[in-house]
Structure 1
Amino acid sequence: MQSCLYECRVMHHRFTPKAHRFAYRIFMMAIDLDELPDLHRRLRLFSVNRPNLYSFREGDHLPATPTHNPSPDNPAARPQPSSNASSAPPSLKARVLAHLAAHGIDLTGGRVLLVSLPRILGYLFKPVSFYFCYDRHGHPVAALAEVTNTFHELKPYTLGPETRTQPEDRAHANTQPPSVAPADASPSTDNTPFRLRVPKHFYVSPFSDVDIAFDFTLRPPTERLSVQIDDYEGNHRTLTTTLAGPRRPLTDAALASYLFKYPLLTLRVITLIHWHALRLWLKRVPWFAKSARPADQRDLHHPHASLTAPSSPSEVPPLRPSALPR
C-alpha cells in the first residue's frame, strides 16, 4: 500500500512590503490513484466519490476542461468547450496522464501519488495539491503543483524530468541543464527535488501581483514530505511557504484520531486564510483587484466571471482574500 498520511507543519513568511509570519499544523492524504478502489473498500471512514466523514472526489482535481488563455486583444476570451463535453469524464489518473502527455511526458505503466487535503464532512478547500508521478520502475519523473484560489479557479504547474536537480544546486529548468539522480538511489528513497521558477499568471492573493514568479522545490515524498513554494519579484524573494512532516499509516484509527486532533480542518484552513488576509489589510499591505489584469491570468481552469466578461471601467471590485494569504 503506497497511500498514507503526512502530519505536517505549514509555515508562511512574507518579507515585503510588511513582515508577516505564521505557522499551523495540518495533515495531508497521499493517495496512490491506482489504490482508490481498494481504499474505498477497506476504510470505513473514507469514501471515493461518495459522502463520508472523509471523502475524495475525483472531480475536485485537474479538470478535463480547456484552460482559460486570454490574449491582449481579447482578455475576456472564454475557453472553448471540448468536443466530448457531454460524455462521462475520464478518471483522474487518465486526466493526469493526458496532461503529462500534452507536456511531452509519457507515464504509460507508471503511477501517480496525489498529496492533498480530503473533503471533511463534505467540505473542501485545498490551497495546493501535489502530484508525484513515477515511471513503471518506480522512479520519479514529474510533479504537478495544483493551485486553487477562493474564486474556485484552479491552475496546474508542471515540473517535468528536466527540472530534477541535485540538492546542492539552486538552478532552475529554464536556466540550467537537467541533472541526473544518483545512480544508487532506489525508487523508494530517491527524493531528489523537482525545482522550477515560472511566471505565476494566476490570482492567488490580493496581496501579490499576478506577474511575479512561483519558485517550486518539490521533493518526492518518502518517510517525510517536504515541499516549498517561494514568491519572487525579479531576483527578490518576497514570500516563502513550506509544508513538511513525517509519514503516518492510512488507517481508520488514524482518521478517527485526526477528527479530534485536527477538528474541521478544511474549514479551519479557509478561516485562517481570511483571518491572515484581514491582518495584512490592517497592516496596510497594498492589494490588487482580481479584475485589474485579466489578460495576465492564464492557463487556468474554471475562470471567474471577472475574466470571461468585460468589466465596467467604473466598477470597483471588493477586497476578497484568495487562496493562501501570500
Structure 2
Amino acid sequence: MTARYDVTIRHQRHSPVRYGLASKGAVWLVDLDDLPRLPRGLGWLVGFHSADHLGDPARTLRENVDAWLARSGVARPARVTMLAQPRVLGHAFDPLTLFSLYDHDGTRTGVVAEVRNTYGGRHCYLLRPDGQGRADVAKAFYVSPFNPVDGHYTIRVPEPDDELAVVVTLHRPGQAPFTATMTGTRSRGASLWSALGRPWRTRGVSAAIRWHGVKLYLRGLRPFPRGGHA
C-alpha cells in the first residue's frame, strides 16, 4: 500500500497579529512493514529512512515506533502506516509525521504525531482520535519561536481516503492563536520516482519556515525563550 497526496498546507495566525501563508507539496502514505524502495543502489535518491524520524537510526522505522509505544505502555500494533515526506537527494525535513496504529481487525486504535522543529528537535504525541478523527493533547514541545510552550492542541486526523484533511489548532488561555491545515487528494499508482520531479520541495519547507519567521519578526513579534525545550 503506497499512495501520494498532492496537498496544500496553510498556516494562519490569528493573534497577536493576523498572518497567513499557503504552499503546495506532496506527502506519502506508506506501510512500515512494506516501505516503497527504489532499485538497489538508488535508495540515496529518494526514500524513507529511520534517521529522519524518532528512535535509533540503526533500527527500522517499525522497530522504532514499536519501541516508543512500549515505553508509553502501548502494546505492539498489528500494522502501522506513516504519512510523511520522503528524503529526497539526501535532504529531509518533515514538520509533522503521522503514524496510524491498527489492530488485527483493521481498526485504527491510535495515532503517533511526530513534530519536528527547525532547531533539530522532535517530539511525539500519542493521540486517541474519536469517531470524527479528533483528539486533544497538551502542548509539550517548542515549535514556533513566537508561541510559548503552553496550552493544548486540537488535532483532527481522519483516516486518509481519497481525500486528506489534517487540522491542527493551538489553544491558549482565552484564545486560539494558530491553525495549520493540510488538505489534498490522493494520486493513485504513484511511484517514488515522482518525488524527484520536484526535488526542491523538502528543502523549500525549512527555508520557507525561516523566511516567514523573518517576516513575522519584522511585523513586531518576538521569540519566546526555548528554555528546557531546546
TM-score (normalised: structure 1): 0.65
In structure 2, what is the equivalent of residue 228 of structure 1?
A: 167
Q: CA separation in 2, counterparts of 1:250 and 1:45?
A: 21
State whether residues 3 and 29 of structure 2, in contact with CA within 8 Å, keep that contact through their aligned partners in structure 1: yes
Seen in structure 2, the aligned counterparts of structure 1 residues 218 and 20 have a Cα distance that, compared at 3 Å, is same
- 5 Å-filtered alignment, 1:45-60, equals 50-52=43-45, 54-60=46-52
- 5 Å-filtered alignment, 1:189-268, equals 193-198=133-138, 200-252=139-191, 255-256=193-194, 258-260=195-197, 262-268=198-204
* RMSD between aligned residues: 2.2
Letter of the structure 1 residue corresponding to residue 16 of structure 2: P
1:272 aligns with 2:211: no
1:59 positional shift: 2.1
Seen in structure 2, the aligned counterparts of structure 1 residues 219 and 45 have a Cα distance that, compared at 3 Å, is farther
Seen in structure 2, the aligned counterparts of structure 1 residues 226 and 107 have a Cα distance that, compared at 3 Å, is farther
TM-score (normalised: structure 2): 0.91
In structure 2, what is the equivalent of residue 131 of structure 1?
A: 99
1:62 to 25, 29, 54: 54
Counting matched residue pairs gives: 230
Q: CA separation in 1, counterparts of 2:169 and 2:143?
A: 13
In structure 2, what is the equivalent of residue 165 of structure 1?
A: 130
Question: Structure 2 regions of 5+ residues with no counterpart?
Answer: none
In structure 1, what is the equivalent of residue 89 of structure 2?
A: 121
1:267 positional shift: 1.0
Question: Structure 1 regions of 5+ residues with no counterpart?
Answer: 65-87, 168-192, 298-306, 308-326
**Superimposed CA distance per residue, residues 160-203 of structure 1 (whole angstroms, 9 cap, x where no aligned partner):** xxx33233xxxxxxxxxxxxxxxxxxxxxxxxx041231x2221
Q: CA separation in 2, counterparts of 1:221 and 1:101?
A: 25
**Superimposed CA distance per residue, residues 271-321 of structure 1 (whole angstroms, 9 cap, x where no aligned partner):** 11111111101110132132xx32xx3xxxxxxxxx5xxxxxxxxxxxxxx
Give the strand-richer structure, 1 or 2.
2
How high is the sequence identity, in percent, across the aligned residues? 28
1:264 positional shift: 0.8
1:9 positional shift: 0.8
In structure 1, what is the equivalent of residue 69 of structure 2?
A: 100
State whether residues 49 and 61 of structure 2, in contact with CA within 8 Å, keep that contact through their aligned partners in structure 1: no
- 5 Å-filtered alignment, 1:1-40, equals 2-36=1-35, 39-40=36-37
Name the SS of the counterpart of 2:34 in structure 1: helix
